[in-house]
Amino acid sequence: MKLPPKVTALAGRFDRLTLRERLFILIAAISVLVVLFNMLLLGRVEQRRAQLSQELNGLDQAARASAAAAAADATTAAYSQEEALQARLATVNAELSSQSAGMIAPDRMTQVIHDVLSRQHGVVLVSLRNLEAIKLPLDAAGEAAAAGKPRPYVHTVEIVLEGRYLDVLAYLQALEGLPWRFYWRRLELTTTSYPINRVRVELGTLSMDPQWIGL
């Protein structure tokens, strides 16, 4: 694939820098990208999760009130109301357990990573493994507000890649451009033998299920 002249010029300038300067520039650029992406994505995820949890709590209370009313006055209308509330409650639970804000399902992460890699030249996959799922952390106020409410789990995949800087960057940009979203947790770069770089990336997603479906 032929790169635009501006990109080629920038790549030439980048190659003329010292190894230390290249590492500083790359890490700074990726750090800004990761911070901005996580702020935007996790902000939407947390906001939607809070809305769903609040609605879930309200529906649960309404369902309990409806059940109590049905016990006191067993009419067809009361039973119909309870059934409608239970159906809505199930819908909210299903939405809360789905891929929030367009995030990819944990069981699809490995296949998507391999699919994108198969279309990218110059990048070699050194290793790929699942890390232990952890509950999404909350601050003290969030913990108090969410007491007894379900919290999603963060499922993380660790990828180790090798390739030239521009090839690795193109692969990461291809992952970022997918219709599904990842939670970029960590990115580390080392140079094995110039111009080959080794990059370790941790990509995460959210799920209400703590269990992985294996690699």
The tens digit of pLDDT for each residue in 83-108 reads: 777 766 655 554 555 445 567 888 88
User: Considering only the top CATH level, what class is 5-46+99-207?
Assistant: alpha beta
Cβ neighbours of residue 112 under 8 Å, at least 6 residues apart? 104, 178, 180
Range with top average pLDDT, 34-48, 70-84, 163-177? 163-177
pLDDT band at 9 (very low <50, low <70, confident <90, very high): low
The three-state (H, E, C) secondary structure of 134-176, written as one string: EECCCCHHHHHHCCCCCCCEEEEEEEEEEEEHHHHHHHHHHHH
Q: Look up residue 73 and give its amino acid.
A: D
- Closest by CA to 128, choosing from 194, 175, 166, 170, is 175
The tens digit of pLDDT for each residue in 166-212 reads: 999 999 899 888 888 787 888 898 887 888 999 999 998 888 777 76
